[in-house]
Each structure stands twice: as structure tokens, then as C-alpha cells.
Amino acid sequence: MEIQLALDRLSIEEAIRITREAEKSIDLIEVGTSLIKEFGMEAVSKIREAFPNKTIVGDIKTIDNAIYEFDLCFNAGGDIATVMGVSSIHTIDACLNTAAKHGKKAMIDLLNTTIEQRVSLFQYKEAIFCEHISKDEQEMAGRNNMDKVSFVPSLEWAVAGGITIDSIENMIESESRPHIVIIGSAITKADHPGKIAAAFKEIIG
Ligand SMILES: O=C(CO)[C@H](O)[C@H](O)COP(=O)(O)O
């Protein structure tokens, strides 16, 4: 299991400082949607510049205009860009093709997808699939439980949304484990982000 640190609701400078503290314990760095909305693709290029050897995920949450947005993200230094699974199949196709053209990857965010949509998305074997509990579901509906998820074994899986030291313990114990755990606030809002990131790393082994 790898750790993806999600950087949201921060300045770029804060994001770089926090990531430096957690750097040793994390594998991927996610430039969060909020950073990209606030600062544009410069958020991606600055984080790329600061961490040349890490895998950078641009959480652009594309839902349309696939080629343009994926090109922007990869040209800014992203290695993985995100697309919403609820997008039209034309958009998903274009994202996967654009990623392949750049020699990069697409992550399909399954937020709010139906079973039928999921089944048709699972044809994209080269994608990473992300089970996601949204910020609004976490904060407005108190939903933060991911332990009943079962992953299609032949595909690559990520999970995101309010993951804490306690909830990650359940994930470790469950039979089917994701490949990537995306952790944001539990690290970025901690008094000592480096220590919490190290604790996550130790738990997942
Ligand atoms: O995609 C996101 C928000 O839409 C975040 O990356 C994801 O929710 C992880 O952050 P947190 O652990 O704070 O929930």
C-alpha cells in the first residue's frame, strides 16, 4: 500500500512545507482540487519543482474538456490526473488516450457513480480507480466509513475521504486492500504532519 498525501485548502508555500515534513513517509503527492482552483496549474508546477522525484497527482477532477485539461496537467509536471467517473464515456476515453500519449496515468474518481457506470468503467484496465467519500458527505452527513469496500482484484485501487489513523487500521485488517490510500486533513491539519505521516507509514507496513 502506498500513501498519497492530499494537499487541500493551503497556500502553495504551506503545501510545500507540510510535504517536506511528511516526505519520507509518503509515496505520491496530490495537488488538491482546491489548490488548483485557487492557484491554477502553477500549483502543480511548483510542487513538481519542489519534489522532482515524487509521483505528482493533479486532482483536476475533469468532467469535460478532457484533452485540454489533461494536457494542461501533464505539461505542468503531473504524473497522474483525475477524471470523474460520472463523465461521459467520450470524456473518459479521451482522458485515458491523453494519459497514454504523455506516458502518464489517469485516476478515475468513482464519486457518485452508479453500479452500471462502474461496470462500464472497469474496461479501462490501465486506469487507477478511486473510491471516494466526498468532503461534503464527511462534513454534512458524517460519513467516513470505508471498510465495506470490495475491490475488483485485477484493477488498481485508491481510497480517499476522511481517512484517519483509526480508520486505516480497519482497512489493513480487511481482506481486500487498496493499492493507494489518499490522506489529506489527518496529516495536513496535524500539529506535527511528519510524525502523523510516519505513524500512517508504520501502520501500513
Ligand atoms: O479529493 C479530495 C477532496 O475532494 C481529497 O483529496 C480527499 O478527500 C482526501 O482528503 P481528506 O483526507 O482530507 O478527506
Tens of pLDDT, residues 130-177: 999 888 888 888 877 665 677 888 999 999 999 999 889 877 777 778
Q: Which residue has the least CA distance to atom 6 on ligand 1?
A: 6
Q: What CATH number has the domain bearing residue 83?
A: 3.20.20.70
The interface pTM score, or ipTM, of the predicted complex is 0.96
Closest CA to 59 of 46, 51, 69: 69
Q: Decide whether any atom of ligand 1 lies within 6 Å of the 109 Cβ.
A: no
Domain count, the chain: 1
**Mean of per-residue pLDDT scores for the chain:** 94
At residue 147, the pLDDT reads 54
Ligand 1 atom closest to the Cα of residue 138 is 14
Burial tier of 42 (Cβ tally within 10 Å: 0-12, 13-18, 19+): middle
* Angle CA 2–143–117, to nearest 5: 70
Cell of 65: 474538456
In three-state form (DSSP H/G/I as H, E/B as E, the rest C), the secondary structure along 83-101 is: EECCCCHHHHHHHHHHHHH
Q: How many CA atoms lie within 13 A of 99 on its CB side?
A: 24
Alpha carbon of 184 to ligand 1 centroid (Å): 5
At residue 202, the pLDDT reads 96
Question: What is the length of the chain?
Answer: 205
pLDDT category at 196 given cuts 50, 70, 90 is very high
Domain that holds residue 158: 2-204
Report the C-alpha gap between 168 and 200 in whole angstroms: 8
Q: pTM of the prediction?
A: 0.96
Alpha carbon of 6 to ligand 1 centroid (Å): 6
Q: Decide whether any atom of ligand 1 lies within 6 Å of the 30 Cβ.
A: yes
